[in-house]
Amino acid sequence: MDKRPRCIFHIPNHIDVDAKSGSQVRPVKMMAAFDRIGYDVDVVMGYGKERKASINAIKKKINKGIKYDFLYSESSTMPTLLTEKNHLPLYPFLDFGFFKFCKKHNIKIALFYRDIHWKFGQYKAKVPLYQRMVTIPMYRYDLFQYQKYLDIIYLPTLNMGKYVNGLGNVSKVDTLPPGADKRIVDDKSENYNTSDSTINIFYVGGVLGIYNFEKLLKIAKQKSYVRLKLCCRENEWNMAKHKYSDYLTERVDIVHKHGKELEQYYAWADLCSCYFEPSLYMEMAVPIKLLEYVSFQVPIIATKGTAAGNFVEKYGCGFSIPYDEGKLENVLETIHEDKRLLLNKYKQIKDCINENTWESRAQKVAGDLTSIEGR
């Protein structure tokens, strides 16, 4: 029996496997996906002391002649050198030294660059100047190291590439958005009740800052056939509810659930929402919940021109519409008049799932890196 090929998964920070944020969920999903497509995965993850032990163990294997097909890394939301609990650069040469070692041993390297929020106003608004004087040079240092060692850098969208400078030595820049889980769910295209004219809309995610869904709430208040469930962290809702209090009715439910508790809401929903006020950041960011919506075979309302809207248009898995009350009202009225319009969307989502699983993301990485010749 042939041995399974090996790969290295690297992320320069501690991961909470029970956390709900995309930056914590995605690495866990990708690690599992590499395993499911047939790889033995050696993992470098955790705080510096843990990563150092894992790196030393892998180096010993490589020096003994054990072969790895590639190294796949995901960046932290923090600069690589500041990912300790105290955010001090206690291991300044650890991670990029490991990249250098792998490159020397002809192991191909790719990295998913998660975010470039530090170049935009929202970062300036949240982070004091004295901190930015440290973090921004550190973020730039990450990019400098990437161009030295990476064969491929993956981004959430190609739009983000306009703001990632200094990657001249990287041979390929490509996209690697989040993936969908293949779930055993009831096929809504076969048992969907088109006679019920009520439209049930579900949203799960953030409610602060760039996540502005005022227009959706306003239309939901006006239209008696719309029911809306918003799921968010309780502390975030306590900070945001004053902004939306004028739009809350008995047809709007605010819930604070996660994990398997969400499944009842996905079964209930006719549509899921990625309908936010457009921004430069939304043009680049692919919410991990977008693919969770797809996983549960629920059509999506997204804002045209955003990364989510572009995804919906590409796969026909919902409705990509301008951020305009009239346009949103028209779409909901059309669905209300004939809910059979959603049947085709459900069928298209099934095809969308097959093309966008976490396994397909892992297969892409493996295929891209193993097809590179030379260094």
Residues of the chain with pLDDT under 50: 1, 375
For residue 64, the model assigns a pLDDT of 97
CA contacts within 13 A on the Cβ side of 129: 0
State whether 76 and 164 are in the same domain: yes
> Which residues, including other chains, have CB under 8 Å from residue 167's CB and lie 6 or more apart?
143, 146, 147, 150, 153, 173
State how far the alpha carbon of 75 is from the alpha carbons of 32, 102, 137, in Å. 18, 17, 16
Q: What is the pTM of this model?
A: 0.91
For residue 354, the model assigns a pLDDT of 85
SS3 state of residue 142: helix
Query: Which residue(s) pair with 111 in the sheet?
Result: 73, 153
State whether 72 and 114 are in the same domain: yes
Q: Are 149 and 309 in contact (CB under 8 A)?
A: no
State whether 150 and 246 are in the same domain: no
For residue 193, the model assigns a pLDDT of 66
Residue 99 lies in a domain: yes
- The count of structural domains within the chain is 2
Number of other CB atoms surrounding residue 260 within 10 Å: 7
d(CA 166, CA 141): 10
Residue 375 lies in a domain: no
d(CA 226, CA 157): 32
Residue 102 lies in a domain: yes
Residue 279 lies in a domain: yes
For residue 184, the model assigns a pLDDT of 56
Q: Are 318 and 345 in contact (CB under 8 A)?
A: yes
State whether 312 and 207 are in the same domain: yes
State whether 153 and 192 are in the same domain: no
State whether 12 and 89 are in the same domain: yes
**Where in the sequence is the domain holding 259, given as residue range(s)?**
188-355
Number of other CB atoms surrounding residue 215 within 10 Å: 19
Residue 252 lies in a domain: yes
d(CA 117, CA 124): 9
Residue 332 lies in a domain: yes
State whether 283 and 343 are in the same domain: yes
State whether 266 and 170 are in the same domain: no
244: domain CATH number?
A: 3.40.50.2000
**Measured between alpha carbons, how far apart are the two ends of the chain, in Å?**
31
State whether 335 and 362 are in the same domain: no
d(CA 292, CA 157): 18
For residue 1, the model assigns a pLDDT of 45
State whether 214 and 151 are in the same domain: no
Residue 1 lies in a domain: no
d(CA 112, CA 110): 7
State whether 116 and 221 are in the same domain: no
Number of other CB atoms surrounding residue 295 within 10 Å: 22
Residue 127 lies in a domain: yes
State whether 133 and 243 are in the same domain: no
